Structure 1
């Protein structure tokens, strides 16, 4: 019997070793092993890590009391493991990996057969179902090693998938795969020319792989049903034989051996079926991850259009309103904004009963909600540059419900670092108009993280942006903008005006000038936001 070992991860990646009728194959970092790993790079592997033995026509894998364990398709080997064609062996989590190819599998090792066109396989020379399964398996093995960021792991997965598809699949799939390669390598985040068409091509490629894996799954289901029927038939024959005094012990043992062999076959098929189902799930998750990473900020703004609100103070007698900031929906009747936006509302309503705080929906000036309750973050301190500048606004929706924004998993927020793409969606003060509330999208990136909870970014903002959500490319809120650093007060000349707004004149007819104070940005593009997990902790205080 022959077994080929293809190194798919580690210092020897890309190499293949073939063994013909070996009594044993030993693995480890010691140079005397049949498969000797790199002593400096493959440090997860032990000196004498594992051994494959050929026993009764089967290849069995034994762990040799290694420090970090031996894994087959992600499952740890406790005593021994019968190897099947396509199995991936990992020597310590994160260590070197090899894929097994067993051209002439032993009786207890059931190899996947090609599915006929009638059973859902490709008709035009595409890869066989087992080939596709191995492609996915190898790609996932690589993706597991690159979990630094969501898009990064997906990129590894798709690149490994495509690199194998180009050499093994049909011309049509090669064309689609080439498009994906361009997509992945063209630019950061995949935002390049013809983005919509590329996403369509990606969906087509992922769907094709999904169909092929589904064919694998259906084939294994059929084989499992047949094997279970054979097992039941042999068991019935054995039960009958045990009641028949004329059946010899040798015949009984032969029937018992047949039953054991079929039960092993059934177990092997169930393993293959479960592995295929896991690969289907992983394919969906990873392709969905990549599609989300391809989302443009234009799409993010469109998806969150109804979640953004202009915060204003309104006089109920004449319905005049003064805009003061931005807020965004975080629940069916709640908004999040800055504390320094909410405090003036509290002060104004206390001084004048006819004044209320309101939230005006982005692009829909007719949708106005009255603010009924305000909660300020308990640790808010206006005098500090870095502060949890947050407030929760409860509004009267009249029985309706707001459209809350989405937040990323907590683990994703820890990946915020310099260069991470961002966008702020809110109402810059110089463009704020309560009669025409149109939010402005401003893009930029993280400059640096401050004290881990504060985001320095360079998205263009001005006063009315206070309380604006900071989005990532997945359309998730990663922070809340609250300030621009470098603001200084200066005295500048300006025309003197009378109460009606007319320019006053000097005796000689020239315009009269007065001196006024203005706040300007000394350091343009240095803005601060509080990270979303601080906001989420605050929201949990206000269920």
Structure 2
């Protein structure tokens, strides 16, 4: 009884040996019976595997805890595996391959074994074919898994498309509902503004609503979910502002304060500038911004300073009384030079305890300051409403419906009291995001003359 081992691949490919012993060791070790090249056949362990002859004339192979494993016809063995004539042994998945050839069994043995079990009775299948069969058998399960995964993936894509399409239709429907609600609120507000008589704000409101409605109707059918969300957020923002405006008594606030708002004309570094100021004493003391009366570039004071109170055509001269001691606080006080009795605002809030994010507010000022004529013409204010979007100790941020008044414009709360002084805005917001100095920063400057205007 013997076994022949033919090395098919590797450094010793083509070599073959026949063994008549009970135990045949395989590896790179010097003492291995079937030895592989110790320097090149590195997939083979020193003592990789061994073949054991059975008393029944069969041969069995077992792995000796090799690094890369032992395979028979492409299948990794666990424990022992019976070898048949023509089997191919792999020493590692990428290692050398060995073909097995065994002797025909003895006559005595053959008599005891049914003829159907004798492999030599039929034509011998080539080694390559047997390897292909083994590989196909090994990968069949993988192909089934991949096919099932592909089917699941296609189903998931189809479901996602259907759900996304349904979600998009739902978002468009929600968007149109928001637009209808916004149109209804805007119509009510337009009626109030018409009765109030403020055509500037009413016109700005109409224009803003018309532009947004056009955007909604023109893009909703093809918009992405991100664009739809952006449109919905803008509609909600404007709806919140309009609802806040509806809570304000615009007529009362305007009647109490409009006359005290003054257009301020200055010359800084040789260039003309326009702004807003508001009266806090009947003797002609007004509040405005530091940068309206002192150049933010050179630091030099204004070389000319004049003003007109709202609804008047009288140009008055003025001078700077004080600027905020803190250079980060954009406030200043100016005094009219001509003696007289001048209008004042209804009050200046000492604290902003009643103000919070979402509170409705009104700004009165001159948003197109440099276009305001200074000689022989009445100057008229513009009113803009919005809501507080952020309140910090040194900053009041207002989300306005239209462009805010010019620098120095007062911001009024529902009581009709000044709660902030506009000093600028976010450039990318097209004037709709207004920054103001809280009046809590103004209290210290008014404690001398002007203290009587503080509320409560």
TM-score by structure 1 length? 0.34
The two structures have a TM-score, normalised by structure 2, of 0.40
Higher relative contact order structure (alpha carbons within 8 Å, sequence separation ≥ 6): 2
